[in-house]
Amino acid sequence: MNKKLLAGVAAICAMGLSAGAWATDAATADEVVGKVKEAAAAVTTGGDAALADFNDPKGKWAWKDTYVFVMDCKTGVMAAHPSEKVKGMKLADLKGKDGKDVGMPLCAAAAKGPKGGWVEYMWIKPGAEGNFRKVSYAVPAGHYAVGAGVYDETPVSALEAKTK
């Protein structure tokens, strides 16, 4: 009986440790803000030549469960993205899983100024069933806009406070 109890406690502890490991695989809003600002500086400095780096799903701009993307808001297309399906897509065609426009609101958020802004929408979460709230942060970068998203329940007003 004690062996079964000990095995059960060990299993629960192992699951708890595993859950903690899974949690570290999720990007945070603070990480998104930092990466987006770093990426914006790279795009502003490097221009078109810098875009190829953002297309690599295993590169510097993809981490944990998210990635940085680059939009050309003037032409209305996704200029760089780690998914071939999304790269080159018309921003007007980029919709959340709830049908809500995502592409053009991201451009509008970036157009707010150097601090950019956040957009919320519903999206699929890798490894999970259903649609989840996702928020993406976008800032201007030369004649482009740079953004990244995170699965987070924090209200947009609180997220906006992180970028001021």
For residue 141, give the CATH number of its domain. 3.30.450.20
pLDDT value for 120: 96
Among all chains, which residue has been given the structure tokens 């001021």? 164
Residue among 66, 73, 80 nearest 123 (CA): 66
Residue 14 lies in a domain: no
SS3 91: helix
Residue 132 lies in a domain: yes
pLDDT band at 127 (very low <50, low <70, confident <90, very high): confident
pTM, entire model: 0.84
Structural domain for 95, as ranges: 28-162
Q: How many domains would you assign to the chain?
A: 1
How many residues are listed for the chain in this entry? 164
Residue 9 lies in a domain: no
Residue 20 lies in a domain: no
Residue 7 lies in a domain: no
Give the start-end residues of each E strand in the chain: 62-63, 66-72, 77-80, 117-124, 131-141, 144-151
DSSP secondary structure letter of residue 17:
H
SS3 47: helix
Residue 139 lies in a domain: yes
In one-letter notation, the amino acid at residue 96 is G
In one-letter notation, the amino acid at residue 119 is V
| Average pLDDT rounded to a whole number, residues 132-151 | 97
Residue 23 lies in a domain: no
d(CA 123, CA 106): 15
Indicate if the pLDDT at residue 23 is higher than 80: no
Work out the burial of residue 7: count CB atoms within 10 Å of its CB; fewer than 13 is exposed, 13-18 middle, 19 or more buried.
exposed
pLDDT value for 6: 39
